[in-house]
Structure 1
């Protein structure tokens, strides 16, 4: 069963309320440091669990800008995009409503230390072979796609 969350906005021509039922655009970032592993945040809001840093794209913002902003808000890290990992659009990827996520690989200064912020309760690195059991959304799939990409380039 697909989620049918909708929202309303005003028509710019007549001012009438217009209901929209489109997927919500989001971003996720994958930051990997050897030998520390992959950076995850512990979510402070439902659905709880560990997740890749990321969030909703704001109106007037590009996906790339959102990825950099969300990384800074949730981890305190100033990141640089290094590539597009993939687009994830399974209607059931988020238990709250239908989202579409653009996932990027990123890097930051080697001496930068993550610090949880915004709606993140914790931010830390996990080795790829020792991920926590409670990973939110479809982030285990995104991490697996990243691991495949890294193993192919090694």
Structure 2
């Protein structure tokens, strides 16, 4: 991502509370009207990059698990302040992250990946046990089969 000093672009956004507001526009900003919200309030002016999508391949397609984008709100009065951050969409909501927050999220996702590997190993054991009985053991007689998570 280019630094603040690498962009000479500016954008003028008409606002309902401060009239036309000219702001520096980062190189990574898409510059679309939805980010700059012409006619809105100055505090709502937002710079946003295109989304980075994190998808996984499944037997039923490739769903997007996470979305993230660079964002900056030059006139906000709320955290994370005026500095650029990464907004991460999870479970239908967007969550602002600083660099330390992103590292924590990454570590958490790696721990979840480790847990999925443990579940895969357990599934191997369940499948092997099932194959050994040739599927002849009813679920009621085998507490491992049909048990909730």
Q: Which TM bucket (shorter chain)?
A: under 0.3
Larger Rg: 2
Q: Which structure dedicates a bigger proportion of its chain to helix? A: 2
TM-score (norm 1): 0.21
Q: Which structure dedicates a bigger proportion of its chain to strand? A: 1
TM-score (norm 2): 0.21
